[in-house]
Structure 1
Amino acid sequence: RILFCYLLSEETREALKTPTFDVWDWEPNEMLSCLEFLFHELGLVDEFHINPITLKRWLLAVQEHYRKNPFHNFRHCFCVTQMLYGMIHLCSLQEKLTRMDLTILLVAAVCHDLDHPGFNNTYQINARTELALRYNDISPLENHHAAVACKLLAQPHTNIFASLEPDVTQKLRRGMVSLILATDMARHGEILKGFNEKTESFDFNNPEHTGILKMVLIKCCDISNEVRPMSVAQPWLDCLLEEYFMQGDREKREGLPVAPFMDREKVTKPGAQIGFIKHMLLPMFEAVMKIFPQIEPVMVQPLRDAYDYYMSEQQVSRLTT
């Protein structure tokens, strides 16, 4: 069961480095092979003496711990990790960050939504779910994703850090947990503000600076679908809205508050994306652009184009209704 040795062509290896990579083209075993390749290609397997068979087992266990949600599923995990890999190459992060940093980023991306139940933190808290009670309403989902990730790494057959000294393992684990917790969108404003305060005099030798950069990088990749070509991004939006509407329907049945963006009777695709791109995506990617101007043509401009597209779609729909 662990011999997913799908060989990647040179064309695929190069495509994996780009935001235009079509994440819909791949079967689960092929996605596993791609993820496995990233760890080898970045030199992380050699650097941290990762047993290649353990890496395969860990990736398979990760896949099995993603549920079959419309959006928060294993393909989303692959999507986020592939975009991160693209940013590592685009921004030459191998020359600016340590292998430790790259490992923390990659492992966090792979694990960032483990065992996501398909209902967000607001639902967990309002419905007083077991997760909300366990984590005292503080980022219940992200705390759960991190806990599941740590549990997998604590099991001998899936512990990719088994060869390392305890202090190194602890540093990797703490770094991973910190990044997974940073993906809670409730912390978006706080994290972006902290990053913006450092962009003018950013110092790659300052751990505080690189720490918040890593948070912003994983956040960018987590919500980066609109960076991708429209043919790739649109199906993701359909999946996200399907998951949102399932939550909205359940909240109505249970007499819980329903967010306007989760109410199938109120949402339009342009309406859903215009504010999100303008207020969340563009400010964050433009902040990253101050340190890495090379992302503008391949990541920031597609966001601006997507914004213009949804604005024109909204105008058309208003004229026809």
Structure 2
Amino acid sequence: MSSHFQIHLGCIFILLVFAYAILLSLKNKWVLKRIREFYLTLGFLTYLYFILADPKILYKFTGEDYNPNEVPLILGLISLGPMIRIILFDSYLYTLILGISGSLIFLCVRIPYAPGSKITTLSEICLVIVFIIIQIIETHKIDLRIKQVFWRREKEIVLKKDKDPEIGIRSLGINSDVEIIMDMCEQIKIKLKDVSKVIIYKDIKSVIKDSIADIEKIKWKVAHKQDIRIVLDPNMDDDDREYIEQNFVEIKKFKSEKSEKNDKMDRSFSDIAEILPRKASGRFTYHDVEGAIATFGINWNFDIWFVYDSTGESISLVANHILSKWNLYELFKLTKDVSQRFFEHIEKAYKFNPYHNACHAADVLHSFMFFVLSSHLLNKLSPLEIFSSIISILGHDVAHPGVTNRYLVNNKDELALQFNDISVLENMHSATIFNTMKKPGSDILSSLNQEEWFRVRNLIIQMVLSTDMSRHFEVLGQFRARVLGLKDLELNDSEDKALILSIGLKCADLGHSAKSTDLHKKWSFLVCDELFTQGDLEKEKFQTVSMYCDRETTDIDKSQSGFLKNICIPLYEVWGVYMNSPTVQKNCIDQQIANQKFWEDRAKYRKSTMRLDIIPDSAMPSIQRISSDPLLK
């Protein structure tokens, strides 16, 4: 066996082993990231083999006689160029490196050692170099074409996105840090997807796909975090900003201020409910209260004041109606005496505040039931959850003193001391609900087993605590991130269902903002009256009056417009997306926007401050008194 044959065999064996080693290592991420470098090395070694193992060169190293009949390896060197381009993915840079290094080695070896005519040698050198240059030019053209296609497609994507902008998670005005981070993640994900569309290499596409999956994990962790910080729009009106900081974020101590498994648990609500007629009756007379009650939860603009003025009752009346119509008396083995006694205690515990009174609680229940009847919630909520919701809603403001948590904390009130300045009123409302059940003959949950009882208790507490306006943006931010970002809310999950019911209560609690303009004005002026009463108390104590609580300086039109724009509309927008109900959109959200425009238009023409008479403690505010106010006409 000649030495030439042994050298050829050894070189080919080494190249094959190296090539198979690369193939077997492709599963390794470190190798995969550097695959072009490995292919470049393989190409360089193959170039060396074809240059140094050519018969015209090899005989100089082995001492054997030159045989001109052997096949010259220059043919293999020329055919190697296109194959190298393929394994290097037409990379211009790597082809250039390999071409220049191969040409230099070929020149250095061929000129001094090649036998025969110098002209023949130069012709071979020119042939090889010209072919290598052609390969370099071709890869440069392909590389340039790929970049042009990439940027052209990228430009098309950008133009398309400009024409059809996507709805982001963030809203104008106020966002939680969760929503800001979620929105940033979503924008990064969109950009990665756009880049992936114009990438032709599978390994890079795979890395991008993994990165998108990691971003989704980050979004999930962020959306489920509990500690949420609120970020206000720097362009927000100063008065609105101060009002929101005072009432809609947690009270910060020592902070400087600008101014001071059974049927009840598993069955769907609609399975056991007596479905009410969907068509609301027309205008009511004082002799037709029963007809008015029949539209409770159906007619969005149901007026609880009409029922109260006609009967002197609100909570006990609507509670009996709902429990009867939806067969909850029978399902929970509940006697009407116990139910009536419990809800009468709750109704009497409400104070005669202008706004936070028993009629407000009954109206909130009506709004909540409207949401249930107008959406998929009807088929997803169990009777136990509806029962819990009725109790929590009718008691969510029980014994409300008519002042804010901030007022109680600043004045070191006994309630603030009792509940450690944390959701003072909401904790008091929850405690009052369950203390009422301890009164003789008032245990409305007596038929429940222990598991059901604790489930009801947990849901009531969570729903009532969610109405704390200092947690408004925290709860809204979490819900908005789940609905618009992750889109993963599941009514089969108990925690998700509790979040949905809590948001439903929050929307119902602010339901007056989406009622007909006349009804909305009545409730709005009652809110202002109550805030002005607090402002009067702060003046008596020589304290800084809270924003929008000074009857002498408050611009009601401006304050109500800002309240709807910054608080109510953002909440209802995401609620509308989740509900996906044309009925809710038409009756609630569209009307809410109209109400905001009403206050905005009034503010343009009206700059004076409205004064309202303080409602005496001896009488509940009546619709007649409100209607007689000339400012409402």
Structure-2 change in CA distance of 1:210 and 1:16 (3 Å): closer
Q: Please state whether the residue corresponding to 1:283 is helix, strand or coil.
A: helix
Q: What SS does the aligned partner of 1:29 have?
A: coil
Q: Which has the larger radius of gyration?
A: 2
Residue type of the alignment partner of 1:73: N
Q: Which one of 219, 222, 228 corresponds to residue 509 of structure 2?
A: 222
Change (3 A) 1:198 1:242: same
Give the Å deviation of 1:250.
Answer: 0.9
Pairing of 1:29-68 with structure 2 (within 5 A): 29=313, 32-68=316-352
Residue 23 of structure 1 is aligned with which of 297, 304, 318?
Answer: 304
Q: CA 1:15 to 1:37, structure 2 compared with 1: closer, same or farther past 3 Å?
A: closer
Please show how residues 185-204 of structure 1 align to structure 2 within 5 Å. 185-199=469-483, 200-204=487-491
Residues 38, 85 of structure 1: 8 Å contact kept: no
- Which deviations, in whole Å up to 9, do the C-alpha atoms of 1:192-215 show, x marking residues without a partner? 111112212322112222111111
Which is bigger in relative contact order (C-alpha 8 A, separation at least 6)?
A: 1
The one-letter code matched in structure 1 to 2:337 is: I
Are the structure 2 counterparts of residues 264 and 7 from structure 1 closer, same or farther at C-alpha, using a change threshold of 3 Å? closer
What is the correspondence of 1:39-188 to structure 2 with a 5 Å cutoff?
A: 39-188=323-472
> What is the DSSP-based 3-state SS (H/G/I as helix, E as strand, rest coil) of the residue aligned with 1:261?
coil
Q: 2:519 & 2:412 partners in 1: Cα distance?
A: 36
Alignment match, 2:595? 306
Q: Is the 8 A contact 2:295 2:302 kept in 1?
A: no
Letter in 1 for 2:302: F
Which of structure 1's runs of 4+ aligned residues deviate more than 6 A? none
SS in 2 for 1:188: helix
2:578 corresponds to which residue?
A: 291
Q: CA deviation at 1:155?
A: 2.6
The structural deviation recorded for 1:171 is 1.3
Query: After the TM superposition, which of the residue ranges 60-69 and 19-28 deviates more from structure 2?
Result: 19-28
Paired with 1:252 and 1:11, the residues of 2 have a C-alpha distance of 42
Q: Runs of 5+ in structure 1 lacking a partner? A: 1-5
1:13 equivalent in alignment to 2:294: yes
**2:436 partner amino acid:** L
Q: Secondary structure at the match of 2:548?
A: helix
- CA–CA separation in structure 1 for the residues paired with 2:439 and 2:292: 36
Contact 1:19 1:227 in 2 (8 A): no
The alpha-carbon deviation at position 119 of structure 1 amounts to 1.2
Query: Following the alignment from structure 2 to structure 1, what is the Cα–Cα distance between the partners of residues 314 and 381?
Result: 28
Distance 2:521 2:316 in 1: 24
Rounded to whole Å, the distance in 2 between the matches of 1:70 and 1:257 is 22
The Cα shift of 1:47 comes to 2.5
Distance 1:293 1:312 in 2: 30
Between the aligned residues of both structures, percent identity stands at 24
Residues 264 and 29 of structure 1, relative CA distance in 2, 3 Å threshold: closer
Residues 284 and 128 from structure 1, CA distance in 2 versus in 1: closer, same or farther, beyond 3 angstroms? same
Q: State whether residues 226 and 233 of structure 1, in contact with CA within 8 Å, keep that contact through their aligned partners in structure 2.
A: yes
Instruction: Please say if residues 532 and 550 of structure 2, whose CA atoms lie closer than 8 Å, have aligned partners that are also in contact.
Output: yes
Q: Determine the C-alpha separation between the residues in 1 that align with 2:305 and 2:349.
A: 20
**Residues matched between the structures, number:** 314
**Equivalents in 2 of 1:207, 1:171: separation in Å?**
10
In structure 2, distance between residues paired with 1:7 and 1:40 = 19
Deviation, structure 1 residue 92: 4.2
User: Which stretch has the larger CA shift, 6-15 or 253-262?
Assistant: 6-15
Q: Distance in 1 between matches of 2:402 and 2:600?
A: 29
Counterparts of 2:420 and 2:567 in 1: how far apart (Å)? 27
Structure-2 change in CA distance of 1:110 and 1:70 (3 Å): same
TM value normalised by structure 1: 0.92
Post-superposition shift, 1:261?
1.1
- One-letter code aligned to 2:561: I
For 1:302, give the aligned amino acid.
Q
Give TM-score, length-normalised by structure 2.
0.48
8 A contact 1:142–1:184 mirrored in 2: yes
1:281-303 CA distance string (max 9 Å, x none): 11111111112122110110110
Shift of 1:113: 0.6
Counterparts of 1:308 and 1:7 in 2: how far apart (Å)?
Answer: 34
Deviation at 1:30, TM superposition (A): 5.8
Alpha-carbon offset, residue 269 of structure 1: 2.1
Q: 2:551 aligned with 1:253, yes or no?
A: no
1:3 is matched with none
